[in-house]
Copies of this chain bind each other. A is one copy, B any other.
Amino acid sequence: MTEFGFIEQIRQLFAALPDQGFEGIGDDCAVLPVDGGEALVFTSDLLTEGVHFLRHATSARELGCKSLAVNLSDVAAMGARPVATLLSIALPKDTTQQWALEFMEGYHDLSARFATPLIGGDTTRSETGITINVTAIGRAPIDHLKHRRDARPGDRIFVAGELGASGAGLRDILAGRLHTPLADAHRNPAPQVDEGIWLGARREVHAMMDLSDGLASDLCHILDLSHAGAEIDLESIPVATGSDLQTAACGGEDYKLLLTAQAEAADRLAAEFRAQFGTPLYPIGRITAGNGLTWLRNGQPEALDWHGFTHY
């Protein structure tokens, strides 16, 4: 059974329950409208040793930071501001007090950077590996929230940073090269929190999500939910230094924002983004009225059996 197969079965099993006011199944976060035209958003991610990280290949501080980063990225991908987290952590007997404290220092440093309090969670013993679950809560004006379902034919597709560093870094780590710049990038993702909040406030931004499983896979969620297609110009994909095009398109855990924006407003959006953050929005293609993802090389369709990255 694949992860998505299991998730679909869960969805069907729970379909008849009342929604209690929550929305947004299929997005990076669930959404609960509250007062004053605002909404809260909620997301949860589980990291397990040997699947999401190797204990010998990361410092405790890096892991603490990354555990939070991947959740803040989901909140930002909705256009929301993170406002609190809950952390559950299970530690085997062979992790030291020093390890646990350094983990928490890493978690704290990123929490402090985005003024996000730790409001709860659980600490427990593990008979096996280290396991970490973070639930992040965000807040935004409800009309700032971006959904995967809102891409429209004609939209320009952007990514908000270079791709492929994390995937190439994972390759380095698995080959025992733990201290390359790419391995560092894999262990230290920088969630685009300020960028997500800023993009959330822009009405010309239609659909948005963060790239966790790779462009080839993640973009398809936007296409499925928007009932649309896309053309991606291979030569426009911004490949991180030391990575390669296929890894940029298929590698996981870059945690850059992927968004679609109204074509007429797209150039101005990109210019203002660059003025605000000093980095480009990279245009990589267009939403179409068709189906599925088409790779173009110099304007010509190219059949590529490229898929995203999966931990499952």
Q: What residues of chain A have their CB less than 8 Å away from a CB belonging to chain B?
A: 1, 3, 6-7, 9-10, 13-14, 16-22, 24-25, 29-30, 32, 34-36, 40, 42-46, 48-52, 83-84, 86-90, 97, 100-101, 104-105, 108, 111-112, 115-129, 131, 133, 135, 137, 311-312
Write the chain B residue with the least CB distance to A7: B123
Please state if B122 and A17 are interface contacts (CB–CB under 8 Å).
Answer: no
Please state if A48 and B124 are interface contacts (CB–CB under 8 Å).
Answer: yes
- Residues in B with CB closer than 8 Å to A89 are 46
Q: Which of B19, B86, B88, B116 contacts A30 (CB 8 A)?
A: B86
- Residues in B with CB closer than 8 Å to A21 are 83
Task: Given A40-B40, A311-B124, A312-B123, verify A105-B13 contact (CB < 8 Å).
Answer: yes
Write the chain B residue with the least CB distance to A1: B97
Please state if B22 and A84 are interface contacts (CB–CB under 8 Å).
Answer: yes
Q: What's the nearest-Cβ distance from chain B to residue A226, in Å?
A: 20
- Residues in B with CB closer than 8 Å to A35 are 34-36
Question: Copy number of this protein in the oligomer?
Answer: 2
Task: Given A22-B84, A124-B48, A128-B49, verify A118-B10 contact (CB < 8 Å).
Answer: yes
Mostly, the A contact residues are mixed
Q: What's the nearest-Cβ distance from chain B to residue A90, in Å?
A: 5
Please state if B22 and A119 are interface contacts (CB–CB under 8 Å).
Answer: yes
Q: What's the nearest-Cβ distance from chain B to residue A218, in Å?
A: 15
Write the chain B residue with the least CB distance to A34: B34
Could you jot down 19 A-B contacts, CB within 8 Å?
A13-B108, A17-B117, A18-B115, A20-B117, A21-B83, A22-B119, A32-B84, A40-B40, A43-B120, A44-B121, A44-B133, A44-B135, A45-B88, A46-B122, A46-B124, A48-B125, A51-B127, A124-B311, A126-B131
Write the chain B residue with the least CB distance to A311: B124
Task: Given A44-B121, A124-B312, verify A83-B20 contact (CB < 8 Å).
Answer: yes
Task: Given A30-B120, A127-B50, verify A42-B115 contact (CB < 8 Å).
Answer: no
- Residues in B with CB closer than 8 Å to A20 are 83-84, 115-117
